[in-house]
Copies of this chain bind each other. A is one copy, B any other.
Amino acid sequence: MPAYGESNVPEALYVSLTDSVRRLVDTTIRSQSDCGAILSAKAKIDSAADELSHSLIPGSFGIQPAADGRSRTWGNAVIGLRNALAPPLVVHHEPGGGVWAEVSLGAAYEGPAGHVHGGICALLLDHVLAATAHKPGRPAVTGTLTVRYEAGTRLGPLRAEAHIDRIEGAKTFAVGHLATPEGVTVRAEGVFFHPRTSSQQV
């Protein structure tokens, strides 16, 4: 019997399905349709969810081994390709240890009008700072995270960057920031460490 996620469904189909759900999340927030259209849309959504629910992974997606020996984090709230809450962030690792990601955030990530919710900024920064401390098979978890808001972060294109400031024993000290095309809006520093079990990941 195949492990969860080891079915014959191509990854691209999951990506396509989840992108459709992301669009639906956005239109659910911004729709000005009337009651009849909303009721009709809701019936289709419920039918789609029923169709996807004939067999469900119990609980949550977790961290699943893939055929290529790597691990799959398709349910992750920041990078999960099957998670419509995740933008998803694609984290790039530079040879020198730095990491970066570029993403465009829409209506679903709003806090102040027209701006990214401050907590969403913290969510993204937590993930990219932790990524500096990741090692293959040894993901890092957060000890402390400090976030400084220097300006409002407009919805739209964003770049997140982080690098290791220093390593002291088991602790990795990372720093990073978020920037819009107008400049840096939020800075963060964090302390990350490797838990004893490899099943954990930020």
Contact = CB atoms under 8 A, between A and B. Distances in A.
A29 interface: yes
A170 interface: no
Given A113-B201, A142-B147, A146-B146, 18 more contacts: A8-B34, A17-B38, A17-B42, A21-B28, A27-B49, A30-B61, A32-B56, A77-B110, A80-B110, A112-B200, A112-B202, A117-B123, A118-B126, A118-B141, A122-B122, A122-B145, A123-B123, A152-B200
A103 B6 CA distance: 32
What is the interface residue range for chain A against chain B? 35 or more
Interface stretch (A81-89, A92-100, A171-179): A81-89
B78 A119 contact: yes
Contact of A147 (B51, B55, B106, B122): B122
A24 interface: yes
A104 interface: no
A82 B144 contact: no
Contacts of A8: 34-35
A33 B62 contact: no
Interface string A130-172: 1000000001011111111100100100000000000000000
